[in-house]
């Protein structure tokens, strides 16, 4: 075992308790002498502790750390965490290739999931944040089976966690999945509130700052976590189950909601096994295979990156990403689509690289790219089209309100009618010339619940759906109401609302998967406003190295995170106190 230098400057009981747990008997009265003894030892061996998995800069080298191995390291590097390692392997690489590698070939969502598992180590190299994909679809379509295939790249069955256990122990899971993969099954089991907090934490890549024993605040742990998730509903709609909470556009482009339907009548699969008319057998074989042969492909991928050279790998993936993004312009140029395309481009690049490295020989060249393109198409159509999520939300909110209430809450403005309960406004004209005149308060509080009403009005106006007098700046206008015998300020919506959008929007009424954009969500880093339609919420920055260096003393409790600069733990200085170790 290794003893950290910092442990020799704190309470001797912490050190002796650790040694006692390892079986060393120490008389309590000799504790100070033991510490003194260790302090006077001159040790030449250097051990570098790191607080999380993934890429680190150690001694001017870029090193990838897993619990049992450090790729590219010139010295001993140990992962320092209390959380049990989820990694492990069984069988050799050829076994995995003949298992999951072969079973996923020709299955676009299978290839996508496994490519996402390879994309973890490339996130940092390509400068992307954590995030990933969520397979959404009805029961027994193969979501969990495909997620198990992804998990098998890095570890055993237990590598896949449930969303529930992760909300409770997110920090531990995240620091151990940094730059590899977090596989989260069954979104349904988590409470909406917990999910909101978990997704937010995953997105910002940082844990909670906690007080140390001396009352000062500890720098929170940081991570960069790639995710493969499954569930019957989308992450956004689960967050929105609690009507006061709205998912954010930033959340939606981080974990992309992909329908778990390859569109060929076999659920998440493109085809069943030869001679079978259902994909059930394939799903079961995938799970069995992931159970029997796992954990070898991820490390092989890392070794191949080191062997090729990190800089060369970076150049290759950047070229691949640019090509994918250039080709995906045909799907739309909205900012959110571009971000989703970039995320899928990295997944494609990872899958192609794994194929080039010979790790997935059963896949054909270009297969991962096709899988990612398919996912992008699916993502775009499931969110309702190629427009910004906010535009879709705005159009949908108004359209649904009219469809839902129709005449029951809109009185005729042309002639007085009997009293209408809970009036939302008036209706005027007929057919293509029909207008809906919304009472401003109803428009703001009911129609636009959870949305920024000014932004909704702007979106409607920009699309010619909301009319207002030419010379006015606001979005309301005076309309003559016969029953009142006077004019009333209203938001005036034309019948174009029904021509303005694909009917697919209505199909997703129950599943409000499109992002909302106001600052109503708690924990929101920043409120939306009318000028930032395509701008995503600002993500709080991870403490910088210079900021954390203000605590120059190694901290016995949280020392391991105190030199973290958010991207790399730079321990290149040999005189750094963290290098001193006693063996």
Ligand X SMILES: Nc1ncnc2c1ncn2[C@@H]1O[C@H](COP(=O)(O)OP(=O)(O)OP(=O)(O)O)[C@@H](O)[C@H]1O
Binding site residues, ligand X, CB under 6 A: 139-145, 186, 230, 232, 266-269, 278-280, 283-284
| Least distance CB 505 / ligand X (angstroms) | 25
When the beta carbons of 100 and 341 are compared against Mg ion, the nearer one is 100
| Least distance CB 270 / ligand X (angstroms) | 10
Range list of H helices, 78-205: 93-96, 102-104, 108-125, 143-151, 163-168, 170-177, 192-204
Q: How many helical (H) and strand (E) elements, i.e. helices and strands, does the chain have?
A: 21, 18
| Least distance CB 143 / ligand X (angstroms) | 4
Verify binding: residue 97, Mg ion, rule CB under 5 A.
Answer: no
DSSP at 314: H
Q: Which does 283 bind (CB under 5 to 8 A by kind): Mg ion, ligand X, none?
A: ligand X
| Least distance CB 32 / ligand X (angstroms) | 57
Q: Which does 279 bind (CB under 5 to 8 A by kind): ligand X, Mg ion, none?
A: ligand X
Structure tokens at 378: 């699916």
Burial environment of residue 18 by CB neighbours within 10 A (0 to 12, 13 to 18, 19 or more):
middle
Which residue is associated with the tokens 């790998």? Answer: 313
Measuring CA to CA, which residue among 326, 335, 331, 172 is closest to residue 250? 335
Q: Which does 438 bind (CB under 5 to 8 A by kind): Mg ion, ligand X, none?
A: none
| Least distance CB 185 / Mg ion (angstroms) | 6
When the beta carbons of 269 and 559 are compared against Mg ion, the nearer one is 269
Stretch that binds Mg ion, among 130-138, 139-147, 174-182, 542-550 (CB under 5 A): 139-147
Stretch that binds Mg ion, among 14-22, 141-149, 456-464, 501-509 (CB under 5 A): 141-149
When the beta carbons of 69 and 232 are compared against ligand X, the nearer one is 232
User: Per CB under 5 A, which of residues 356..395 are in contact with Mg ion?
Assistant: none
Range list of H helices, 366-500: 367-382, 389-405, 440-442, 453-462
Q: Which does 278 bind (CB under 5 to 8 A by kind): Mg ion, ligand X, none?
A: ligand X
| Least distance CB 158 / ligand X (angstroms) | 16
State the Cα–Cα distance between residues 482 and 417, nearest whole angstrom: 9
Q: Which does 284 bind (CB under 5 to 8 A by kind): ligand X, Mg ion, none?
A: ligand X
Report which residue's Cβ sits closest to Mg ion: 144
| Least distance CB 265 / ligand X (angstroms) | 9
State the Cα–Cα distance between residues 200 and 205, nearest whole angstrom: 8
Taking the mean position of all CA atoms in its chain, how far away is CA 187?
13
Measuring CA to CA, which residue among 487, 494, 453, 457 is closest to residue 472? 457
Burial environment of residue 179 by CB neighbours within 10 A (0 to 12, 13 to 18, 19 or more):
buried
Identified binder of Mg ion from the candidate list 53, 81, 116, 144, rule CB under 5 A:
144
Q: Which does 266 bind (CB under 5 to 8 A by kind): Mg ion, ligand X, none?
A: ligand X
When the beta carbons of 143 and 501 are compared against Mg ion, the nearer one is 143
Which residue is associated with the tokens 């993004």? Answer: 325
Q: Which residues pair with 478 in a beta bridge?
A: 489
When the beta carbons of 114 and 268 are compared against Mg ion, the nearer one is 268
Stretch that binds Mg ion, among 138-146, 154-162, 371-379, 562-570 (CB under 5 A): 138-146
| Least distance CB 184 / ligand X (angstroms) | 12
| Least distance CB 287 / ligand X (angstroms) | 7
Report CA-CA distances (Å) from 582 to 6, 8, 37, 38, 73.
11, 10, 11, 7, 20
Stretch that binds Mg ion, among 136-144, 232-240, 339-347, 357-365 (CB under 5 A): 136-144
Q: Which does 216 bind (CB under 5 to 8 A by kind): ligand X, Mg ion, none?
A: none
Tally Cβ neighbours within 10 Å of residue 316. Answer: 19
State the Cα–Cα distance between residues 356 and 361, nearest whole angstrom: 8
State the Cα–Cα distance between residues 119 and 227, nearest whole angstrom: 10
Element (H, E) at 255: strand 255-259
When the beta carbons of 375 and 569 are compared against ligand X, the nearer one is 375
Chain residues that interact with Mg ion, rule: CB under 5 A: 143-144
């Amino acid at each position: 075992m290794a003893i950290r230098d910092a442990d020799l400057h704190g309470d001797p009981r912490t050190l002796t308790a650790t040694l006692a747990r390892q079986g060393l008997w120490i008389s309590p009265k000799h504790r100070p002498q033991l510490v003194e003894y260790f302090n006077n030892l001159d040790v030449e061996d250097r051990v570098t502790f790191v607080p999380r998995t993934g890429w680190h800069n150690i001694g001017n080298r870029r090193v990838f750390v897993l619990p049992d191995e450090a790729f590219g390291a010139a010295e001993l590097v140990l992962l320092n965490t209390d959380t049990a390692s989820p990694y492990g392997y069984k069988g050799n690489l050829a076994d995995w290739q003949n298992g999951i590698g072969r079973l996923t070939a020709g299955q676009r969502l299978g290839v996508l999931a496994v490519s996402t598992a390879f994309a973890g180590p490339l996130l940092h190299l390509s400068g992307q944040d954590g995030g990933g994909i969520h397979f959404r679809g009805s029961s027994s379509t193969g979501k969990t089976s495909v997620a198990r295939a992804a998990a098998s790249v890095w570890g055993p069955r237990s590598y896949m966690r449930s969303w529930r256990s992760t909300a409770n122990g997110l920090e531990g899971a995240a620091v151990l999945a940094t730059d590899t993969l977090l596989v989260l099954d069954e979104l349904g089991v988590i409470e909406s509130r917990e999910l909101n907090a978990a997704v937010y934490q995953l997105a910002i890549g940082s844990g909670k700052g906690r007080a140390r024993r001396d009352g000062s605040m500890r720098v929170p742990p940081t991570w960069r976590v790639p995710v493969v998730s499954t569930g019957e509903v989308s992450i956004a709609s689960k967050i929105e189950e609690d009507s006061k909470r709205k998912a954010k556009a930033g959340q939606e482009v981080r974990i992309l909601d992909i329908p778990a339907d390859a569109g060929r009548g076999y659920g998440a699969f493109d085809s069943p096994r030869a001679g079978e008319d259902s994909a059930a057998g394939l799903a079961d074989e995938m799970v069995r295979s992931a159970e029997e042969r796992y954990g070898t492909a991820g490390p092989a991928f890392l070794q191949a990156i080191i062997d090729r050279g990190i800089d060369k790998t970076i150049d290759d993936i950047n070229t691949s990403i640019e090509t994918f993004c250039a080709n995906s312009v045909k799907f739309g140029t909205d900012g959110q689509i571009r971000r989703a395309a970039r995320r899928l481009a990295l997944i494609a690049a990872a899958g192609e690289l794994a194929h080039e490295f010979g790790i997935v020989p059963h896949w054909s060249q270009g297969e991962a790219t096709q899988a990612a393109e398919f996912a992008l198409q699916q993502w775009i159509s499931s969110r309702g089209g190629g427009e910004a999520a906010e535009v879709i939300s705005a159009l949908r909110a108004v359209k649904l309100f009219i469809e839902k209430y129709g005449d029951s809450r809109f009185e005729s403005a042309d002639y007085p009618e009997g009293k209408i309960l809970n009036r939302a406004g008036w209706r005027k004209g007929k057919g293509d010339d029909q207008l809906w005149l919304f009472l401003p308060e109803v428009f703001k509080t009911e129609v636009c619940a959870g949305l920024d009403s000014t932004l909704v009005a702007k979106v409607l106006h920009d699309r010619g759906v909301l009319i207002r007098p030419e010379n006015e700046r606001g979005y309301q206008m005076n309309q003559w109401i016969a029953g009142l015998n006077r004019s009333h300020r209203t938001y005036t919506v034309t019948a174009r609302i029904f021509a303005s959008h694909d009917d697919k929007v209505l199909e997703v009424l129950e599943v409000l998967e499109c992002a909302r954009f106001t600052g109503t969500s708690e924990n929101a880093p920043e409120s939306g406003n009318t000028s930032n339609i395509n701008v995503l919420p600002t993500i709080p920055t991870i403490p910088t190295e210079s900021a954390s260096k203000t605590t120059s003393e190694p901290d016995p409790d949280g020392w391991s995170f105190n030199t973290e600069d958010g991207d790399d733990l730079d321990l290149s200085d040999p005189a750094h106190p963290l290098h001193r170790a006693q063996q």
